[in-house]
Amino acid sequence: MLSGGGGGSGGGGGGAGGGGGAGGGSGGGRSPKPSFVSYVTPEEINLTEKEISRKEKQPDLLQGEVIFCSASPIRKCTQDDFSQRGIFGSLFCTNFRISFISDETQLEEEEGQVFKNKLYGENDIPLTCVDNIYRGFDEKKKLITSGSVRNKYPSKIIIHCKDLRVFQFSLAFAKEEDAKKIFQGIVHHCLEPKSLKCIFAFSYSEKMTFSSENQTKLKTVMFDSMVDWAQEMKRTKGNCKLVSANADFNISTKYIWCWSHHSGCALFKTASLPLMQEDGCSQSYRTYMERYCTCVKTEELPETLPTIQDIQQSYNKFKQFFLVDNTTEFWMSDVKWFSSLENSGWLDIIRQCLTKAVEVVECLENENTNVLIMEEEGSDLCCVISSLVQVMLDPHFRTLEGFQSLVQKEWVAGGHHFLDRCNYLHKDKESPVFLLFLECVWQLLQQYAPAFQFSETYLTVLSDSVDVSVFSTFLFNSPHHRATTIQPVSLLAQKGPLNLPTVWDWSVQFNSAAQDFFTNPLYVEKSRQDKVPRKTFRPKHQRHQSLPSTAFKSSPKKSFFKDETDSLKKMLRVKRISRWLNPTDLTQSTTREFYEAWQRKPLDYHGLLLPCVDGPALRVWAQRYLRWLPEVQIFGGGAMTLEKKLVDLLAEVRELRGKLDWHCSVDFSHRGAAALAGSSVRLSSAFPFFVSRTWSFKPAIPSCLQKNLITGTFADKEDEDSECLGVI
């Protein structure tokens, strides 16, 4: 398959001979699909034909995938601090990806390769996944912008991917014209604005037929029909009348403003997110709302949260720390690691979002008011906050299917501008809003692991999938956009509407063994008794009332004890004095009280979850950001080993239980990372993603002074002692 780049330890150069004859043999190629709308110049197509003839070196094309151009020999550099190693091979640019095929004999499926993406391999970069391309010369690099290249081509290009991989290709060995073409082709297809129809998903889905069985098999509620909405209402016991009216409105008009509506955990709590585009409409909507709800609390998000541009800037700064071209650079950043992370502000944005969500939860849970989250377009931070609130409040959304439904409801049906935000078309509206949401969920997940059915691997994969331009989920700006885009195509092709795969059909990307990694082995399923439909909310509410700690507002013990609120406030005042001086932070203090009150209650993984947003509590999503860096991978260590132990234990428990046929109160999920069970392979801490293939022990001691060793303090050698080399 496409897993070429391995080989590793031997060091580069071996395969150089095989890469010769780049321009050889023409003719006989397939012509590109006529249906494909393309920017490709004729000469590039010619080149395609040439390359196709060399079948042995061709990537396995997906349906509807066409090679634009290619070049060889290209050297893929893997840089460590000592030497430039590299693998020779050919570089292809197709309408889906940039693909590097190694000349070296490809190692067959390795043991660790259970987690393999079916769509693209480890040496492939989907075009939409390319973040930045740099021209590399000497020790420096320079950003390439779409307009800037015409006749030149650099000897080395560095590609930064959105999933944080870094590739370095040396073009110096290829023929000049090939190199020029591939370079221009890559730059053209990766950086220049293009039309929606050019995105690979369309040519892909034309050729692929996704059986509708596949779709129905999925339990994810898609929220594209009225029934879905009605059921969701029923599930949450929302205000049915209001809902059906809204749902009807939503579906029938398919107007650009799309809003969704969810009800909180208690009966009379409702939060809505309207699009405040035209004042008249929103006003009428407002009055409409107020007729049904006794009171509405409005949260203006732009006032307190960062703007979309802030998010983008901050993330850009943040990710630079993980896009490592060479290890020395990484070690340089090491000294000021924490403060530079802090300066990027990304963690603080996450903190702000979580805090805001807690505020909203407080309104719903404590004050029982309806909350109206408002934002200019109602589809960016509104989505973040509303879905976060739901994840915190409703255990259903912490299951795999529930979470997928949530994304479908709040983001897809809610009209998040995925197309713009993911920057598929290079239109400068990029902002990682969805990623921000996933980050927030990850923070929750790592704080309350047993409450979530999905694992962090799932979140990481989901965040990667956003940049694979195959899934309908992330292709459109709104359901309306989706409907209008899909419709005409179907007329032309005289088929049914385009059947684009959704991201939730994980079998498109992963086989079932790999999908096991999506479930969290720590997840504590609800015990059977509790599973009676929707009972959980009610008891929680009662508990909520009866516990003395909620008695902040009206303490029954007030006569007996000095009101603990006072003292608590005092402590807060003293501790957080800087905050208290700021009048706008008044809400924050009540939120803190709310958090503290909640914290005193015994933790219920199937109830309300509030994140801790203190300085030390927010962490870097290590799996996502550090997975490609061999320097920070712990071999034979890390959380992975514990997880493996857990899986083993679970298997044992299950086996014993099977023997005993004994029903226990504690019931852990039995699936999850089954591939781990029983194996004694030494795993890396970045396990499912980065397999220990080309690694050295290097990581253990970062010392920039090691170069001194090489430059040779010892020139003279003596082999006398070499006989007693005993290596374990």
Partner 1 sequence: QCNILSLSLAHWECVLQRATLVRKKLSVRGGGGWRSGTLFCTHFRVAFVPKDSPKRDENTDLVFLEDHDVALASIEKVVAVGASRTKVVTANSTLKFAPEELLLYCKDFQVFCFLFDRLTPDTQVMEMTCAIARAYQPPRPGAVLAFQNSAMGSVEMKQFLSNRQRDTSMNWFEAAADWEAELERTGAVGWRVSGINERFEMAASLPRFNVVPQKVLDTELKNTFAHFSDGRIPRWCWRHPSGADLLRMASFQNDIYHERDDVRNLEALVFGGQRQCVIVELVEEMPTPADIHVARTRLRALCLGDVSLPVAVPDDKWLSTLEGTHWLDHVRCCLRKAAEVSRLLREGHLTVILQEADDRDLNCVVTSLVQVMCDPHCRTVTGFQGLVQKEWVMAGHRFLNRFNYHRDRDKEEAPVFLLFLDCVWQLWAQFPSQFQLTVDYLLALHDSVHLPLFSTFLANCELERSRHTKHLPQCYTPVNGWREGLLPPGPNSLLDPPLPPVWDWALQYSICKRACFIQPRPPAAPRPPVLNGNLNLSKVNRALGSVFLLSHGTFSCPPQLLPWRAGGGATPYRKSHRRAPSAEESPAPERLLRAWNLTDASAPTPHQDPWEPLLPLLLAPCVGLWKECYLRGALQAQPELTSCHLVEQLSQEVQRLKEALAPPSAPKAADSGGERRVQ
The least CB distance from residue 281 to partner 1, in Å, is: 38
Residues contacting partner 1: total by CB under 8 A: 112
The encoded tokens of residue 127 equal 């075009």
Task: Considering the complex, state which of residue 268 and residue 695 has its C-beta at the smaller distance from partner 1.
Answer: 695
- Interaction mask 629-668, partner 1, x per CB under 8 A: --xxxxxxxxx-xxxxxx--xx-xx--xx-xx-x-x-x-x
Alpha-carbon distance of 680 to 677, in angstroms, equals 9
The least CB distance from residue 290 to partner 1, in Å, is: 37
The least CB distance from residue 401 to partner 1, in Å, is: 23
Task: Considering the complex, state which of residue 332 and residue 483 has its C-beta at the smaller distance from partner 1.
Answer: 332
Tell me how many helices (H) and strands (E) the chain has: 26, 12
Q: Which residues contact 437 (CB under 8 A, 6 or more apart)?
A: 353, 383, 384, 387, 388, 411
Task: Considering the complex, state which of residue 494 and residue 662 has its C-beta at the smaller distance from partner 1.
Answer: 662
Residue 713 lies near partner 1 (rule: CB under 8 A): yes
Residue 561 lies near partner 1 (rule: CB under 8 A): yes
* Candidate segments 226-234, 296-304, 475-483, 615-623, binder of partner 1 by CB under 8 A: 615-623
* Three-class SS state of 131: strand
What part of residues 350-379 is at the interface with partner 1 (CB under 8 A)?
A: 351
Alpha-carbon distance of 480 to 467, in angstroms, equals 22
Query: Which of 317, 596, 604, 671 forms a contact with partner 1 (CB under 8 A)?
Result: 596
The amino acid at residue 726 is G
Task: Considering the complex, state which of residue 295 and residue 715 has its C-beta at the smaller distance from partner 1.
Answer: 715
Task: Considering the complex, state which of residue 9 and residue 490 has its C-beta at the smaller distance from partner 1.
Answer: 9
Query: Which of 549, 555, 565, 587 forms a contact with partner 1 (CB under 8 A)?
Result: 549
Which bin fits 358, alpha (ψ -120 to 50), beta or left (φ > 0)? Answer: alpha
What part of residues 69-88 is at the interface with partner 1 (CB under 8 A)?
A: 82
What part of residues 320-339 is at the interface with partner 1 (CB under 8 A)?
A: 330-331, 334, 336-339
Residue 551 lies near partner 1 (rule: CB under 8 A): no
Query: Which of 58, 132, 447, 590 forms a contact with partner 1 (CB under 8 A)?
Result: 447
Q: CA of 470: how far to CAs of 21, 139, 190, 464, in Å?
A: 34, 36, 16, 12
Task: Considering the complex, state which of residue 222 and residue 449 has its C-beta at the smaller distance from partner 1.
Answer: 449
Alpha-carbon distance of 452 to 445, in angstroms, equals 7
Residue 578 lies near partner 1 (rule: CB under 8 A): yes
Residue 296 lies near partner 1 (rule: CB under 8 A): no
* Candidate segments 148-156, 198-206, 213-221, 577-585, binder of partner 1 by CB under 8 A: 577-585
Rounded to 5°, angle at Cα 696 from 694 and 697: 150
Q: CA of 485: how far to CAs of 138, 175, 210, 223, 500, in Å?
A: 46, 42, 18, 18, 12
Residue 522 lies near partner 1 (rule: CB under 8 A): yes
Q: Which residues contact 153 (CB under 8 A, 6 or more apart)?
A: 171, 179, 180, 183, 184
* Candidate segments 89-97, 123-131, 295-303, 560-568, binder of partner 1 by CB under 8 A: 560-568
* Candidate segments 65-73, 151-159, 494-502, 710-718, binder of partner 1 by CB under 8 A: 710-718
The least CB distance from residue 722 to partner 1, in Å, is: 7
Alpha carbons within 13 A on the beta-carbon side of 436: 36
* Contact indicator for 163, 450 with CB cutoff of 8 Å: no
Task: Considering the complex, state which of residue 320 and residue 484 has its C-beta at the smaller distance from partner 1.
Answer: 320
Query: Which of 140, 491, 602, 663 forms a contact with partner 1 (CB under 8 A)?
Result: 602
The least CB distance from residue 509 to partner 1, in Å, is: 26
Per-residue b or e along 449-484, where b marks 16 or more CB atoms closer than 10 Å to that residue's CB: bbbbbbbbbbbbbbbbbbbbbbbbbbbbbbbbbbee
The least CB distance from residue 537 to partner 1, in Å, is: 23
Residue 583 lies near partner 1 (rule: CB under 8 A): no
Task: Considering the complex, state which of residue 303 and residue 719 has its C-beta at the smaller distance from partner 1.
Answer: 719
The least CB distance from residue 568 to partner 1, in Å, is: 9
CA dihedral sign, ordered 459, 460, 463, 464: negative
Residue 247 lies near partner 1 (rule: CB under 8 A): no
Q: Which residue has the tokens 């209650």?
A: 601
Task: Considering the complex, state which of residue 534 and residue 619 has its C-beta at the smaller distance from partner 1.
Answer: 619
Alpha-carbon distance of 416 to 438, in angstroms, equals 14
The least CB distance from residue 439 to partner 1, in Å, is: 16
Residue 497 lies near partner 1 (rule: CB under 8 A): no
What part of residues 678-707 is at the interface with partner 1 (CB under 8 A)?
A: 680-682, 685, 692, 695-703, 705-706
* Candidate segments 235-243, 300-308, 425-433, 613-621, binder of partner 1 by CB under 8 A: 613-621
Query: Which of 108, 111, 138, 279 forms a contact with partner 1 (CB under 8 A)?
Result: 111
The least CB distance from residue 224 to partner 1, in Å, is: 37
* Three-class SS state of 152: coil
The least CB distance from residue 200 to partner 1, in Å, is: 34
The amino acid at residue 678 is G
The encoded tokens of residue 420 equal 């713009």
What part of residues 252-291 is at the interface with partner 1 (CB under 8 A)?
A: none
* Candidate segments 187-195, 287-295, 365-373, 624-632, binder of partner 1 by CB under 8 A: 624-632
* Three-class SS state of 402: helix
> What is the C-alpha end-to-end distance of the chain, expressed in Å?
36
The encoded tokens of residue 577 equal 């004095």
Q: Which residues contact 173 (CB under 8 A, 6 or more apart)?
A: 16, 19, 73, 74, 75, 88
Residue 450 lies near partner 1 (rule: CB under 8 A): yes
Alpha-carbon distance of 48 to 71, in angstroms, equals 10
